[in-house]
Amino acid sequence: MTDPVWDVVVVGAGPAGCSAAASIGRCDPSARVLVVDRADFPRDKACGDGIASEAADLLAELGFDVGSVFAGAPPVCRLALRSPAGIEVNRQMRQPVHVVPREILDERLVADIRRRGIEVRRHEVRTVAVDGRGPVVLDGSLRARFVIGADGAESVVRRALGVPAAAKGRVALAIRGYAPELADQDGAQVIVMTQRHWPAYAWSFPLGDGRANIGYGELIGPGPLRRTDMLTRMAALLPGLDSHPDRLRAHRLPLSSGRPAIRAGQVLLVGDAQSLINPFTGEGIFYAVASGALAGQAAAEALRSGLDAGTAYRRLTRERLGRHFLHTSALARLGRWPGLIDAGMRAARADQRVFDDLVHFGLADGKLTGQIIRNLRFS
């Protein structure tokens, strides 16, 4: 017996895919939605694990029980930054961050959508056929009126559409592991930037149990970027780091400054598959949840109206995130000059309001406010 035609098949059950499925269910409870993922849950995923309060707010709007999602992860209220030139800022954040390993986070999100009656299957999608006249066909047998590709930076769905991967200069490479907190970390999120290999930084994000998610990320340039180089640079930026962090994994980060245009049609890309990584900070979970929610809303609109889902998704994304993307892309270009980042850190050290605006810009959907621009301090 073959499956019926699903209204929407979501490929990938991470934050973007679960958010898309939840969004469809809230907009159209009668929609037949299937989520497929190549892995069983729990499963690990290379990530910095930090979840901003703005992402938590979006999850709550989609009906997720945020208290359960964050259970066991105490709020992190301070952020300690060091700029490329060594300017240090250590301030209380306006809203806390929670650090939840993706092995835990994604399993909890999947369990939540299953409780709503949304089916989640283990299935690795290999082929996607779109002819524009009938259902989209996955792997020759799984049929859907619409497909949402939430299958990450190496997206099979994106490749099937012929959408090229982000070009060099628009992709970063990061490596992540787990180790004891730094001796002087004191429960704060720590980000240390480097001028020598700019743009690049190392981080240590506390889990609340004496351990931290630690890592290093760098924009991919013309030359090779080897694992040993990244580990050496991370250790240099985080003095006192345990010399043998565990669960080290590397991953590519396709930056939103190189994101493809949203195409009309039956197939929508979200999260990393749509190259939605903040080029200023490398943050991706807020974008994953936001884009998943918007794609789910667009698919639900198309189910009701018969209009084009891709066109609706493009409109919704422009309305919700268009100005933010313009500002992040501009800063990504200007930020190739580390002196601008140093100026921003001087301003943030001098004024809590600038600090708050920059954090919102880097972790969610903030803009380059007049407050930031007026207070930039060059030397």
Does residue 350 belong to any structural domain of this protein? yes
CA distances from 132 to 36, 129, 264, 267 (A): 22, 9, 11, 10
On whether both 160 and 275 belong to a single domain, the answer is yes
On whether both 275 and 145 belong to a single domain, the answer is yes
pLDDT beyond 70 at 154 = yes
Q: Determine how many CB atoms are found less than 10 A away from the CB of residue 193.
A: 23
Between strands 76-82 and 189-193, the pairing is parallel
Using alpha carbons, select from 13, 63, 8, 32 the residue that is nearest to residue 296: 8
b or e along 155-190 (b: 16 or more beta carbons within 10 Å of the residue's beta carbon)?
Answer: bbbbebbebebbeeebbbbbbbbbbbbbeebeebbb
Does residue 90 belong to any structural domain of this protein? no
Give the residue carrying structure tokens 């299958």. 151
Answer positive or negative: Cα dihedral of 271, 272, 275, 281: positive
On whether both 20 and 44 belong to a single domain, the answer is yes
On whether both 56 and 135 belong to a single domain, the answer is yes
Between strands 246-254 and 189-193, the pairing is unpaired
Does residue 83 belong to any structural domain of this protein? no
On whether both 160 and 32 belong to a single domain, the answer is yes
Residue 379: pLDDT band (50, 70, 90) is low
Per the CB < 8 A criterion, the answer to whether 328 and 286 are in contact is no
The values of phi and psi at residue 74, to 5°, are -65, 155
Q: Which domain covers residue 238, as residue numbers?
A: 171-254
Amino acid at 86: G
On whether both 154 and 236 belong to a single domain, the answer is no
Does residue 146 belong to any structural domain of this protein? yes
Using alpha carbons, select from 215, 226, 199, 142 the residue that is nearest to residue 342: 199
**Residues across the chain:** 379
On whether both 241 and 289 belong to a single domain, the answer is no
- pLDDT for the residue 215: 98
Does residue 379 belong to any structural domain of this protein? no
Residue where a domain stops, chosen among 206, 230, 254: 254
How close are the terminal C-alpha atoms of the chain, in Å? Answer: 71
**67-97 pLDDT, tens digit each:** 999 999 999 999 999 999 999 999 999 999 9
Answer positive or negative: Cα dihedral of 110, 113, 115, 121: negative
Residue where a domain stops, chosen among 254, 274, 300: 254
CATH number of the domain encompassing residue 50: 3.50.50.60
Q: What does the mean pLDDT of the chain come to?
A: 95
On whether both 43 and 183 belong to a single domain, the answer is no
**26-45 pLDDT, tens digit each:** 999 999 999 999 999 999 99
Residue where a domain stops, chosen among 201, 222, 254: 254
SS3 percent helix, strand, coil of the chain, rounded to 5, is 35, 25, 40
DSSP lists the bridge partners of residue 52 as 97
On whether both 132 and 274 belong to a single domain, the answer is yes
Q: Determine how many CB atoms are found less than 10 A away from the CB of residue 372.
A: 23
On whether both 105 and 144 belong to a single domain, the answer is yes
**311-360 pLDDT, tens digit each:** 999 999 999 999 999 999 988 888 889 999 999 999 999 999 999 999 99
Does residue 40 belong to any structural domain of this protein? yes
How far is the C-alpha of 121 from the C-alpha of 221, rounded, in Å?
38
On whether both 250 and 263 belong to a single domain, the answer is no
**199-236 pLDDT, tens digit each:** 999 999 999 999 999 999 999 988 889 999 999 999 99
Q: How many domains does the chain have?
A: 3
Does residue 190 belong to any structural domain of this protein? yes
Which pair of structure tokens corresponds to residue 205? 């994000």
Percent of the chain topping pLDDT 70 = 99
pLDDT beyond 50 at 261 = yes
How far is the C-alpha of 359 from the C-alpha of 235, rounded, in Å?
25
On whether both 66 and 138 belong to a single domain, the answer is yes
Does residue 88 belong to any structural domain of this protein? no
The model's pTM: 0.96
Residue 375: pLDDT band (50, 70, 90) is confident
CATH number of the domain encompassing residue 219: 3.30.70.2450
pLDDT beyond 80 at 1 = no
Which pair of structure tokens corresponds to residue 288? 């994953």
Per the CB < 8 A criterion, the answer to whether 308 and 314 are in contact is no
How far is the C-alpha of 55 from the C-alpha of 109, rounded, in Å?
13
Beta strands in 100-199 (DSSP E): 119-122, 128-129, 136-138, 142-149, 171-180, 189-193
Q: Helices (DSSP H) in 306-351: which residue ranges?
A: 309-334, 338-350
